[in-house]
Amino acid sequence: SDPGRPATKLREDILALLDATELNAVVIDVKETEGGALVGERLRELVRQLHQKNIWVIARQVVFKDSSQEQTHPEWYLKRPDGRIWRDNRGGSWLDPAAREAWAYQLGVAKAASDAGFDEVQFDYVRFPSDGDVAHAVYPVYRPVEPKWEVLRAFFAYLHDHLKQYRPDLILSADLFGYVALQRADLGIGQRLQDIGENFDY
């Protein structure tokens, strides 16, 4: 959404590349790990330009690794035993995957992407954290007696049901650890292939 010359040139370069090659899809980050959905009029115009070229336009949305709500909603975050926000090996903070308020926040971002005209929303970091001192992470909502995959399956169904009702032709996809495809059991991050298959198109 930056109107500056570097961003304008990047968009122009992408459009030129699409004209010069057989590429037929573009993935655009609408929300990264810093959060803050980047869905404005300039992005809507870019989506319109891409559709004029018959390009499939995908919105990538990072989900539970998201630092944007630390100040406004610290109660959504994993904490250390001393009350500070828990961070992974790269310094990233994580929303509690069981926090329903965080679910609603993510749903709002996906709806904004849909309203901007994206053909597909691709959800990334749809999992519990795997790197760092996870044994000492304190969850505000999630309780370890509940399997992590049950929490994520409920979240996946929540996204599916609300978004398909909101816009039935919106395609939903999810990024997974590749190893998830090789075994049925949860790897400790809550992802199981069968739960994804029930609620996402890809």
178-197 pLDDT per residue, tens: 655 556 555 567 667 777 78
Are 78 and 132 within 8 A, CB to CB?
A: no
Measured CA to CA, the distance from residue 183 to residue 116 in angstroms comes to 37
Residue 191's pLDDT is 66
Confidence of residue 147 (pLDDT cuts 50, 70, 90): very high
Comparing 22 with 4, the larger pLDDT belongs to: 22
In angstroms, rounded to a whole number, what is the distance separating the alpha carbons of residues 56 and 23?
Answer: 10
Q: At residue 142, does pLDDT exceed 60?
A: yes
| Confidence category of residue 63, pLDDT binned at 50, 70, 90 | very high
